[in-house]
Amino acid sequence: MTTTANASRYAPRGVQKDKPIPVRFYSAERTRFMEEAAKDGRSAAAFTRLMALKGFEQWEAEKKQATQGTVN
């Protein structure tokens, strides 16, 4: 059984571990995440966090581009 102490050591330093954000995927999406996480040598949680951060960066860039398009 994994203890809280063991589970918490895998999160990067500074990452808030006491307030997780649950995410739900369709079966095919989950399978894809699990496969890609394994290929990348990451846990499912670490891979999901990485994809969320990359997606957030893309979303911010698209939002900025849309805002600049309306200003000009």
- pLDDT tens, residue by residue, 33-59: 999 999 999 999 899 999 999 999 999
Question: How much is the CA Rg of the chain, to the nearest whole Å?
Answer: 16
Stretch (H or E) spanning 10: none
pTM for the whole thing?
0.69
Domain boundaries defined on the chain: 23-71
Contact between 47 and 36 (Cβ < 8 Å): yes
Residue of higher predicted confidence among 55 and 2: 55
In this prediction, residue 10 has a pLDDT band, given cuts at 50, 70 and 90, of low
Q: How far apart are CA 9 and CA 37, in angstroms?
A: 19
Residue 45 main-chain phi, psi, to 5 deg: -65, -45
Contact between 4 and 37 (Cβ < 8 Å): no
